[in-house]
Chains A and B, each alone.
Chain A
Amino acid sequence: MYDKKTLNSQKLDLRVGVFICRCGGNISDIVDIDKLKSSIDADVVEEFENLCSLNGRKIIRDNIINKELDRVVIASCSPITHEKTFQDYIQPLNPYLMDMANLREQCSWVHGDMDKATDKAITLVNASIEKVKQSQAVDPILCQTPESAAVIGGGISGISAALSLAKQGVKTYLIEKKPSIGGNMVKIGKVFSPVKLAEECGMCLLNPIMNETVWHENIEILTNTKVLSTERRAGNFSILLESNPRYVDEEKCISCGKCIEECPVEVPNRWDDGLSMRKAIYKPFSQSYPDAYTIDMENCEKCGKCMKKCPMGAIYLKGEKEIVPLNVGAVILATGHKTFDPNLRPEYGYNRYADVITQSELGRIMGVNGPTKGKLKMLSKDRVPRRVVMIQCVGSRDEKPDGHKYCSKVCCMVALKNANIIKHKYPDTDVIICYTDMRTPGMYEKYYKHGQENGIRLLRGRPGEVNKKGDSLVVRVEDTLQKKFTEIETDMVVLSTAIEPSQGSEEISKIMNVGITEDMFIKETHPKIKPVTTDVKGAYVCGTAQGPKDITDSIMQAHAAASKVAEIMNDGLEIEPFVAEIDDEKCNLCEDCISICKYKAMSIKDEMIYIDPMSCSGCGKCLTVCKPRAINIHGNIDEKIFATISGMLKGKKEGEKRILVFLDQVGYTAADNIGVNRVDYPESIYIIKVHSVNRVMPKHIIYALKNGADGVFIGEYPGDLMYQEVENKMNQIREEIKDHGMNPERLQFSNVYIPYFRGLANKFKEFDAKIGSMDA
């Protein structure tokens, strides 16, 4: 089956035109152009000094039209340099009916022997001719995404993302599980900016943004609502939402608050960290939106007293969950965080001693709308604490069970902020921060110094335990700089608890099948260069759902996510058409393709495999696991590779060595770099560019070796998502080569890196020498 490969093309007498570029001597100084021209079998063979110039375009176009060419080969520089140019120059032909033979970067710039370089050039052009004969006219797939987006999570990140999208004309649904938008920022009390060295009211900053969101006609806010399921189809998300009843009609309610006078049920107020009480009918906080009361049915006794009292008749006690369908073009995940449960560190006595609290609770106590109306008081006695000790890294930088290995990034700033606020209002209260490292990067350092000037004391040591001794609490810590075991007597202990993924983040990652990090945060595609995209195409992440960060960073990431959404909304999505397609007749629904695809392009819809062209990278890995061979890559890729191989092996002389090298975009760029830097390597090296080395099948490799290739070299960039798969595949293919009675050492697999071009050139030399020393 490998010996004879009938190459099928739709039209047998395709007219091919070859256009050779001298490149101002860059090519013609080494490659004998006349010999090249006379050795090529094509309908038109033209040469030109600078093919990429506008005059070159005229020559190409005139020939295509006058000589009725079906296919074009450009024999010039690297496609990486000029492929887009020549795709444009061959209009009216379809851009995919052209191929470039790389005579400059991979021939004239790396070889010095004119005869050998010319022979190689002939072979490269032949390979391109064979390849274009197999090309098909394909059009880019246009994905029409609806100009709408769902933002999941109504905290500061979600609000910022929604607002940014709405202002760009995108219809946005802001989905929030709780009865009001606002998120964690509502509870903080004060925020600060290190540049001003001042604390500002957080609500006063958040409220105008919330109002803007409420009033924006492109935003629909859905509170008491959570996501049940999402389904993705080429730039479309079909989402099912579960909307829970509020039991108060937000249209009728005028927020007069008469209902709460009547309600007999009192429960701890979660919006106040449980430090105050609220009724079963309540309003989360004064500025909450929707501006209406809500009933918490878990605690409501359904006595009906509030209904009787309500002057607007807004209250109803019978309500059903509603399932709401939603269809949008993109999703932004802004599901936020929660804080570490201090009960998991019993040694700090959080649940034993009333005066051991968290930074979040301290924020409520210091907040003017909090349980003490902004007065700092001990929870056990009605007096101002004489001393407050803050313990950093509670649950962060901690590899013990339930702890988190990461640093939560904001706790040092939060501790300094609350310490400063205490120092401003109660200068007589001593504040000691027990730290391991103070992490106040950038401008925050100024605020750190400002805190020290205010008399905040810092003790370097991580406390092991909080105890009670007589009338006060005792924090046990080693002052590591003094090398002294120390017991600090104090009235109050504040734990700086870690930021961890919220329950909502965990739920949504499961519902949408979005990848998560080892710490359970939603994982971005690449932490450096793709910081807001996720591994689900069309879904983006921002804020603390993605990792610990402060408000500023959350807002920045929200805007970044919104602009990524705007990219696909405004410009439409043009996708390279070389994606996988499935033959439902052959498919047996074994789902092997689903499990192998790292791009999550495959899913099952209506008893059929659905391949999402937006997600598919066209790497071809699914082909290798599909037993019934039901998958094919659009655009005749398989045949093109066979044709290129046979072209590369055409006219091989007695005693000549030919090594075929398959490189992806990264490897090919590295190979071009060898030429750009004029480093040489043997003429036996023939490079074939593939979209992904996964597209090179065992059958291609065997076919090459059977038909005269002396060796096959495959290079891949280790950062590629599918790298591991390729490595596993190579060993299998070596076995297969053995079965065909050939030396498995004729196949080489290697890592490639763009800057490491000299290394690649050396590998070519070594492989060439190795092949040369083999017998048969």
Chain B
Amino acid sequence: MDTIKIDDNPLELAEKIVEDIKFSKEKGLLKCVQCGMCTSMCPGARNSEYNPRAMIEKVLEGDESVISDKTIWNCFYCYTCHSICPVGNSACEVNQILRQIAISKGIANEEVSPFAGFVDLMMDIGLGGIPDNFHQDLIRDIGKEWEEKNMNLNKIREELGLKPLEMPKNSIKEIRVLLKKTGLDKRVNKLRE
């Protein structure tokens, strides 16, 4: 049996999310009536146990267990729910904020650490790229040609009259300084603990 205690404020979590800088729909979240339109169009819901409506319901009930709920990691960030919600809520943004809370609590390393490679690449070459740990998946999904394209990238660019993809040394240094100033390197190291 559930008891709604006389002095609990179930909206604390919702209010925290509404005030989050990432949240652009501050007028939407509290207006949710659980119609389920988000779930009806959600690829994550179709292919897994993730349910954006149920996630919002937990948020509105102040149920903090939603933060450690593993299914919230199945959102694709496709933003369909964001664009179709009849009351102007965004389950997708709520999801992102919940994930950030989970990361801050240190309970999401398993889900997030594979992505640390993106930051390493940025630090090393000053460019966004796909880290090695995803290469095998991409070859499996796209095919051999993806690997071939990678091997011969500079040659292909040369034929197209493009310069090689390289940042000037100084720029890479600057980017490194910037990323360190923002504390991104520390955050990534924390994920790897």
Contacts and interface: CB of A to CB of B under 8 A. Distances in A.
A761 B41 CA distance: 60
Contacts of A483: 51, 54
B41 A397 contact: no
A485 interface: yes
B35 interface: yes
Interface string A118-152: 00000000000000000000000000000000000
A182 interface: no
Contact of B35 (A399, A462, A465): A462
Contacts of A479: 36
Nearest to A345: B84
Interface string B44-60: 01100001011000000
B37 A462 contact: yes
Interface in B73-99: 80, 84-88
B135 to A, nearest CB: 33
A479 to B, nearest CB: 8
B90 to A, nearest CB: 12
A476 B41 CA distance: 7
Contact of A478 (B40, B84, B86, B88): B40
Contacts of A400: 84-86, 88
A235 B121 CA distance: 80
A82 B39 CA distance: 66
B45 A436 contact: no
Contacts of A477: 36, 40
Contacts of B34: 480
A480 B88 contact: no
A735 interface: no
A402 interface: no
Given A400-B84, A462-B86, A478-B51, A436 B41 contact: no
B130 interface: no
Contacts of A478: 36-37, 39-40, 45, 51, 53
A399 B86 CA distance: 5
A714 B37 CA distance: 52
A201 B144 CA distance: 69
Q: Which of A461, A462, A483 has the most CB of B within 10 A?
A: A462
B184 interface: no
Contacts of B86: 393, 397-400, 403, 462
A347 interface: yes
A479 B45 CA distance: 12
Nearest to A392: B35
A613 interface: no
B45 A485 contact: yes
Interface in A455-471: 460-465
Interface in B8-23: none
B32 to A, nearest CB: 11
B79 to A, nearest CB: 13
Contacts of A347: 41, 84
A213 B103 CA distance: 73
B51 A464 contact: no
B54 A461 contact: no
A463 B42 CA distance: 11
Contacts of B54: 483
Contacts of B39: 461, 478, 480, 485
B33 interface: yes
Contacts of B41: 347, 464-465, 476
A437 interface: yes
A480 B56 CA distance: 12
Q: Which of B34, B38, B42, B87 has the most CB of A within 10 A?
A: B34
A399 B40 contact: no
Contacts of A398: 86
A156 B80 CA distance: 42
B36 to A, nearest CB: 3
Contact of B53 (A397, A463, A480): A480
Contacts of B35: 436, 461-462, 480
Nearest to B36: A478
Contacts of A476: 40-41
B36 A461 contact: yes
Given A478-B53, A483-B54, A485-B45, A463 B37 contact: yes
B130 to A, nearest CB: 31
A573 B40 CA distance: 59
Given A436-B33, A480-B53, A485 B84 contact: no
Interface in B163-187: none
B40 A437 contact: no
Nearest to B34: A480
B46 A485 contact: yes
Given A436-B33, A480-B35, A464 B84 contact: yes
Contact of B51 (A403, A436, A462, A485): A485
16 contacts: A397-B86, A399-B87, A400-B85, A400-B86, A400-B88, A436-B33, A460-B36, A461-B40, A464-B80, A465-B40, A478-B45, A478-B51, A478-B53, A479-B36, A480-B35, A485-B39
Minimum-distance CB pairs A-B, first 7: A478-B36, A464-B41, A464-B40, A478-B39, A462-B35, A461-B36, A480-B36
Given A461-B39, A480-B36, 10 more contacts: A399-B87, A436-B33, A461-B35, A462-B35, A462-B37, A462-B86, A464-B84, A478-B51, A480-B34, A485-B39
Interface of B: 33-42, 45-46, 51, 53-54, 80, 84-88
Interface of A: 347, 393, 397-400, 403, 436-437, 460-465, 476-480, 483, 485
